[in-house]
Chains A and B, each alone.
Chain A
Amino acid sequence: MSRANDNTGFFYTLPALLVLMFIVVVPIMVVVNYSVQDVFSGNIFIWAGSGWFEKTLTSPEFWATLGRSALFTSLVLAVEIPLGVFIALKIPKSGWMATFYIIVMAIPLLIPWFVVGLIWKVFADPAIGPLGGALAGLTDAYDLNNPLVAWMVILLVDVWHWTGLVVLLSYAGLVAIPEALYQASRIDGASRGAIFRYVELPRLRHVLLIAVLLRLTDSLMIYIEPFMITRGGPGTSTTFLSMDLIQTAMYQFDFGEASASALIYVLIMLTLSWALFSALMKRHD
């Protein structure tokens, strides 16, 4: 698609830009303001300079939380991306079965996150849920007070909730591949593996980058599900970045410290997103 070199194009984006400025840039400025001050009772401000940043960056809890979130996100990507692609490959390209699968994949995405937490809190409960009950009957090791079990359950919830998105994206990429390419590779005697490696995977690159971008940023900031299911415990073993942030701001009223951590998170997010976005845009310019 050729595009005209014309700077008036900018003006078309202005309404959307203004809305996003209002909702993102103004609050971020407030966060920046807080992050360099000590706030007492919400209206007394004392200049703190880089104090909160130093405190955050030297705190072992901050690094532990960041590490937990990074590990969780890695596990989420390692499970959901291959699983999503695999399921998408197995869904027929057309017909009522295809429509049925598409609808099923979309349904978990449409459930309020709190309700997802509620569903799984019950479903995985050893006393009142069928999955929890079955697992607890099989082995004594099924105990949500065991950090490993708590992690497995939250990971399972995330897979249940979000693999459908990866499937939908991959499926969209797959149906866009012309049938002629498959025919050509069959004539060449390519194996199923070779077709995937040389025909399908290169054309899935862009949708997969989008899937990684969305799952990476959303899973780093997972909040409701662990809050509902484990309350961040046992101990702090399932306390991830967002929960840590909300606890610091809402329950300890450390606005300065929370804002400094918040800015560090935003910077991490922006760096990761920019790296992925650059890879994504290579095709175009």
Chain B
Amino acid sequence: MTRPAKTRTSLVPALYVLFVAAPLYWLLVTSFKTQNETTLGLSFFPVNPTLDNYLYILTDPGWSSGFVNSILFVSLNVVISIIVAVPAAYGFSRFRFIGDRHLFFWFLAARMTPSAVLFLPLVQLYTEIGLLDTHLGVALAHCLFTVPVAVWILEGFISQIPRSLDETAWVDGHGQVSFFVRILVPTIAPGIGVAAFFCFMASWVELVLANALTTTDAKPIVAVLFRAGGPLGFVHLPILSAAGVLTIIPGAILVFFVRKHLARGFSMGRVG
């Protein structure tokens, strides 16, 4: 007699959690160490725990403006992505039109285009039209990764809603805009949450485009980190670690908020 899967406990996920946690733990303890301690050898707890590394980052304008810049373009990207993705997802979900299948593929294909291919021509394009080193420029460039994923996730959520919702809204006299803003968006709010989470994630972690398209005004925190701790210069490891910890916090907070809908976001609709 086989037992139901849910009552079986297993070592494997627990071991995997340890595997995920170990390098993160090391990052965390390093961020509380002094520079001397990291060069003296391995210590699994900070001997003289210090908050100086965090204070240094939070008070240094170069570092803190990096955080502000990242938050700005990521938020802008989430807003743009959701605004263009909701109608597109609605179109794919509700209508069968000529070339819809191919169009859906080209949307996904955009997501597959390597940023190593795009960044040079994008720098030139942005220089011509004045988008270089602006938050809007980075936000638009990141739409490359975020719009396809947002369309895909939202399409799944919209397909779960019966067509009668649309029809009732037309009968009630809602126009297109009114229908989207007052009826559709509140109905698929969890889907928008999950899509926004994935947009945030894709835009927050990216470095190649964000670094290439900015010089000073919109420099993201990852690029500041990259300058300070590129492959050759590990000048101050505890400060780099503290900055690393700080870059993980926004994502960790967000994942906590969407935890219930996260798995669902993938499992529905056209390709789920």
Contact = CB atoms under 8 A, between A and B. Distances in A.
Interface of A: 1, 3-13, 15-17, 19-20, 22-24, 26-28, 30-31, 34, 86-87, 89-94, 99, 101-115, 118-123, 128-131, 133, 160, 163-164, 168-169, 171-173, 175-176, 182, 186, 190-192, 195, 206-207, 210, 213, 217, 220-221, 223-224, 227-228, 231, 241-242, 245-246, 249, 255, 258, 262-263, 265-266, 269-270, 273-274, 277, 280-281, 284-285
Contacts of B114: 220-221, 241-242, 245, 262, 265-266, 269
B237 A19 contact: no
A13 B121 contact: no
B165 interface: no
Interface string B110-131: 1111111110111011000000
Nearest to A211: B266
A206 B2 contact: no
B113 A269 contact: yes
A10 B27 CA distance: 48
Interface stretch (B4-12, B50-58, B185-193): B4-12
**Across the A-B interface, the 5 shortest Cβ-Cβ residue pairs:** A9-B95, A12-B91, A110-B251, A30-B121, A27-B121
Interface of B: 2, 4-6, 8, 10, 12-13, 16-17, 19-24, 26-27, 30, 38-39, 42, 44, 80, 83-85, 87-88, 90-101, 103, 105-118, 120-122, 124-125, 140-141, 143-144, 147-148, 151, 159, 201, 204-208, 221-222, 225-226, 229, 231, 234, 237, 240-241, 244, 247-248, 251-252, 254-256, 259-260, 262-268, 270-272
A24 B112 contact: no
Contacts of A87: 12-13, 16
Contacts of B265: 172
B33 to A, nearest CB: 11
Given A114-B222, A249-B120, 8 more contacts: A16-B85, A19-B143, A108-B20, A122-B26, A163-B16, A168-B262, A176-B268, A207-B272
A176 B267 contact: yes
A130 B42 contact: yes
Given A30-B124, A130-B42, A19 B80 contact: yes
A130 B43 CA distance: 9
A120 B241 CA distance: 11
A191 B140 CA distance: 51
16 contacts: A3-B94, A5-B97, A7-B98, A16-B88, A20-B148, A26-B125, A27-B121, A112-B221, A115-B222, A115-B248, A123-B22, A130-B44, A172-B263, A217-B111, A266-B117, A273-B112
A138 to B, nearest CB: 14
B20 A164 contact: yes
A16 B86 CA distance: 9
